[in-house]
């Protein structure tokens, strides 16, 4: 029986009675009705809901009243925790529905009894912090009921010790573990199986629930509805998990674990620790074969690179040597047997990448990856001290669609940014959602009263050396008018660092004591806390801060974006996909690159207005937004703010905002006639 959503979302309904500050919104109720219809019909819904629509409650109400099992997948662990700890309990209590809920994270989020004790016994730590953190975690183990590391106070989530006291898919002993009955991962999975509503994140959904790589695949067949929040991230996540990758971290962990097991289970076989050392050296030498940091290179571009090819050959030989020795000793203990199995799997991945055979997914029991050959691009990701070898499918639509068709259920895809000027073709094409129902619900905010978009008239070419300095020059009057309270968002780390130095110098020159924050100086959570706590802070960041950031109120009144966020043309996956589309006689720029840039820009622009009382200015310094024919498609996708190309309007807008706050009618809109049109 369908719930009466008009009543539930009304002024006299249970949501309004139970939730402080709840107000009926037409868009919210309409979205809820579409979600309810998709659940009833076991259909597919792709829904864009602008900021302030209240999309979370819009899908939670019909989901919690549907009577079936629901999986909700989010893009971030932050939203995952918010749903589990706050939003679902709030709606459940308001509606008085007796649903049970469970939170399921990846195994790296749970303390592992076995590896914790093994780390304590081995006693090999790099710093005093590791020793102190280990003792804190051991004490935490005596009080926790979940083993979730996010609840362990005193140990940062990025502390090195966590890699020693949590398990991975590769080093988990499974049913052979002496602590199997107490395992927090298994406990979380049992609770998830029994719950009516299970909250996961996208990475876990694909790696664990969908592909059944870690043993929780029973969840998906049992559920009636899957809801993807922050669904704009799915194409990238799906590409990652329908492909294959091999990281330096996996190889180094294999060497580390094999050495540790050898010292306890094969002390009389010194060749094994020696082979571990050789693999570690081969991994480091392979990384040193690349002179550059933070680059992505297609494998075909390295064909004539002698140091790379030699390092790859040496790496493969070192892994084979360790594999052969592990095979000899595997029967001496479960730990060595596990390391042998891991070595075989990693060797298969490395060999496939080395010989250039693009990985093609295989099908198991009708539920696994698509057996049809999927064209892939082979490439390497080079970081400061690490690397990753990747095989990425160029198109996930077919395999994604096949998975959806395996069993009839409702699929809901929702985000604030899925469409380009109301058009969902790009998104639906990427995921094969060709017969999905689509809907777009605009934000209820009064953007023409709350915000101004300024695009400068005279800017250097976006790829010129002078561009970042010009961005800071254009932003400076606005930064002074807003008295800080700003995000400066850049499309590259190089531009971010340059802008930070320029703003730092300007602040010193003019004697302005605005706190200046830089991405990387702390975790994202730490930087946001410092930003909110400071009255006039300026945060300089890259695309890490373009989404999932919610700063309401006066703390944020200015967002500056340097360029249209087109993906770098030398990105191996992008380049291969562009070539594939163009060779098919289509226009990759219009069909693929432009929509992605528009959606990403909408994410960045969406940081400005987060509440109906927020006000501020958005500056986009890339004149292509106005000067190029395709720019119109992008800015028409942005919220309907007032628009201008006259820089003198920006300080005046801030003055008008300040006057309005002290006026008799603080909600009186700013007259559009006072703002020159673009």
Confidence of residue 124 (pLDDT cuts 50, 70, 90): low
3-state helix, strand, coil in the chain (%, to 5): 50, 15, 35
**pLDDT of 548 above 70:** yes
Q: What pLDDT is attached to residue 364?
A: 36
Confidence of residue 668 (pLDDT cuts 50, 70, 90): low
- For the question of whether the overall pTM of this predicted structure is more than 0.85, the answer is yes
Q: What pLDDT is attached to residue 168?
A: 85
**pLDDT of 142 above 60:** yes
The residue-averaged pLDDT of 649-657 equals 91
Tokens read off for 192: 């998830």
Confidence of residue 213 (pLDDT cuts 50, 70, 90): low
Angle between helices 493-509 and 467-481 (to 10 degrees): 50
Q: What pLDDT is attached to residue 417?
A: 93
Q: What pLDDT is attached to residue 170?
A: 79
Q: What pLDDT is attached to residue 373?
A: 58
Q: What pLDDT is attached to residue 1?
A: 60
The residue-averaged pLDDT of 266-292 equals 95
Percent of the chain with pLDDT over 90: 72
Which residue matches tokens 């935490």?
A: 140
Cα separation, 88 vs 307, in Å, equals 54
Cα separation, 503 vs 538, in Å, equals 9
Cα separation, 485 vs 550, in Å, equals 14
**pLDDT of 677 above 60:** no
The residue-averaged pLDDT of 535-554 equals 90
Q: What pLDDT is attached to residue 363?
A: 38
The residue-averaged pLDDT of 338-366 equals 74
Residue-wise pLDDT tens digits, 422-461: 999 999 999 999 999 999 999 999 999 999 999 999 999 9
Alpha helices, DSSP H, located in 517-620: 524-533, 572-583, 588, 594-605
Cα separation, 84 vs 64, in Å, equals 13
**pLDDT of 334 above 50:** yes
Q: What pLDDT is attached to residue 103?
A: 94
The residue-averaged pLDDT of 100-111 equals 93
Tokens read off for 320: 């084979």
* Distance from the Cα of residue 45 to its chain's centroid: 22
**pLDDT of 358 above 50:** no
Q: What are phi and psi of 229, to 5 degrees?
A: -90, 155
Q: What pLDDT is attached to residue 361?
A: 38
Cα separation, 71 vs 73, in Å, equals 6
Whether 259 and 276 have beta carbons less than 8 Å apart is answered as yes
- Bridge partners of 541, per DSSP, are 489
Q: At a CB cut-off of 8 Å and minimum separation 6, what does 530 contact?
A: 515, 517, 522, 537
Residue-wise pLDDT tens digits, 145-199: 999 998 898 888 788 899 889 998 878 888 889 999 999 999 999 999 999 999 9
* Distance from the Cα of residue 654 to its chain's centroid: 33
The residue-averaged pLDDT of 68-84 equals 92
- Domains of the chain listed by start with CATH number: 25-100+195-241+396-441 (3.40.50.300), 107-183 (no CATH), 246-385 (1.20.120), 447-674 (3.40.50.300)
CA dihedral 5, 609, 600, 479 (to 10 degrees): -170
The residue-averaged pLDDT of 92-109 equals 94
Q: What pLDDT is attached to residue 119?
A: 87
Q: What pLDDT is attached to residue 420?
A: 92
3-state secondary structure of 99: coil
Q: What is the mean pLDDT of the chain?
A: 90
Q: At a CB cut-off of 8 Å and minimum separation 6, what does 229 contact?
A: 55, 56, 59, 72, 73, 74, 75, 79, 83, 414, 415
Which of 225, 207, 198, 233 has its CA nearest to residue 368?
Answer: 207
Residue-wise pLDDT tens digits, 593-614: 999 999 999 999 999 999 988 9
């Amino acid at each position: 029986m369908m719930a009466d959503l008009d009543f539930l979302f009304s002024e006299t309904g249970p949501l309004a009675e139970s939730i402080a500050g709840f107000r009926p919104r037409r868009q919210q109720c309409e979205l809820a009705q579409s979600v309810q219809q998709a659940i009833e019909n076991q259909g597919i819904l792709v829904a864009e809901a602008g900021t302030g629509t209240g999309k979370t409650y819009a899908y939670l109400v019909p989901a919690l009243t549907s009577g079936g099992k629901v999986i909700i997948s989010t893009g971030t662990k932050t939203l995952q925790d918010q749903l589990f700890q706050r939003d679902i309990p709030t709606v459940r209590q308001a509606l008085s529905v007796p649903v049970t809920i469970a939170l399921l994270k990846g195994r790296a989020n749970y303390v592992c009894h076995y590896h914790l004790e093994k780390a304590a016994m081995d006693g090999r730590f790099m710093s005093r912090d590791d020793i102190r953190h280990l003792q804190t975690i051991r004490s935490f183990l005596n009080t926790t009921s979940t083993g979730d590391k996010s609840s362990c106070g005193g140990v940062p989530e990025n502390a090195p010790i966590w890699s020693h006291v949590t398990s991975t898919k590769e080093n988990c002993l499974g049913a052979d573990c002496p602590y199997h009955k107490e395992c927090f991962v298994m406990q979380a999975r049992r609770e998830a199986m029994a719950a009516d509503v299970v909250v996961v994140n996208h990475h876990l959904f694909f790696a664990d629930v969908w592909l059944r790589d870690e043993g929780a695949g029973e969840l998906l067949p049992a559920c009636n509805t899957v809801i993807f929040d922050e669904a704009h991230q799915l194409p990238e996540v799906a590409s990652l998990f329908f492909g294959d990758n091999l990281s330096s971290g996996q190889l180094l962990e294999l060497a580390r674990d094999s050495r540790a097991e050898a010292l306890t289970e094969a002390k009389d076989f010194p060749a094994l620790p020696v082979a571990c050392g050789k693999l570690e050296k081969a991994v480091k030498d392979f990384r040193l074969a690349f002179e550059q940091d933070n680059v992505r290179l297609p494998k075909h571009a390295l064909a004539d690179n002698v140091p790379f090819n030699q390092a790859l050959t040496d790496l493969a030989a070192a892994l084979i040597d360790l594999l052969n020795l592990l095979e000899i000793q595997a029967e001496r203990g479960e730990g060595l047997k596990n390391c042998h199995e891991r070595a075989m799997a990693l060797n298969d991945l490395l060999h496939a990448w080395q010989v250039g055979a693009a990985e093609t997914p295989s099908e198991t029991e009708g539920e696994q990856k698509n057996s049809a050959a999927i064209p892939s691009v082979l490439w390497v990701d080079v970081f400061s001290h690490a690397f990753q070898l990747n095989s990425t499918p160029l198109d996930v639509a077919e395999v994604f669609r096949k998975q959806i068709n395996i069993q009839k259920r409702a699929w809901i895809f929702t985000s604030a940014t899925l469409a380009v000027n109301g058009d969902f073709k790009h998104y639906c094409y990427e995921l094969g959602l060709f017969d999905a129902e689509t809907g777009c619900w605009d934000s209820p905010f009064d953007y023409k009263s709350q915000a101004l978009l300024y695009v400068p008239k005279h800017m250097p070419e976006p790829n010129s050396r002078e561009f970042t300095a010009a961005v800071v020059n254009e932003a400076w009057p606005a930064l002074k008018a807003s008295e800080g309270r700003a995000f400066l968002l850049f499309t590259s780390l190089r531009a971010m660092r340059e802008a930070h130095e320029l703003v730092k110098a300007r602040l010193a020159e003019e004697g302005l004591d605005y706190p200046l924050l830089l991405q990387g100086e702390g975790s994202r959570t730490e930087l946001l806390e410092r930003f909110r706590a400071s009255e006039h802070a300026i945060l300089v960041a890259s695309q890490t801060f373009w989404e999932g950031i919610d700063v309401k109120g006066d703390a944020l009144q200015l967002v500056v974006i340097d360029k249209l966020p087109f993906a770098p043309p030398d990105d191996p996956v992008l380049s291969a996909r562009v070539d594939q589309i163009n060779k098919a006689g289509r226009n990759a720029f219009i069909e693929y690159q432009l929509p992605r840039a528009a959606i990403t820009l909408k994410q960045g622009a969406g940081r400005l207005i987060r509440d109906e009382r927020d006000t501020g200015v958005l500056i986009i310094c890339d004149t292509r937004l106005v000067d190029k024919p395709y720019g119109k498609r992008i800015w028409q996708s942005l919220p309907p703010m007032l628009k201008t190309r006259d820089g003198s309007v920006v300080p005046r807008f801030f003055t008008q905002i300040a006057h309005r706050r002290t006026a008799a009618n603080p909600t009186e809109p700013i007259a559009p006639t006072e703002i020159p049109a673009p």
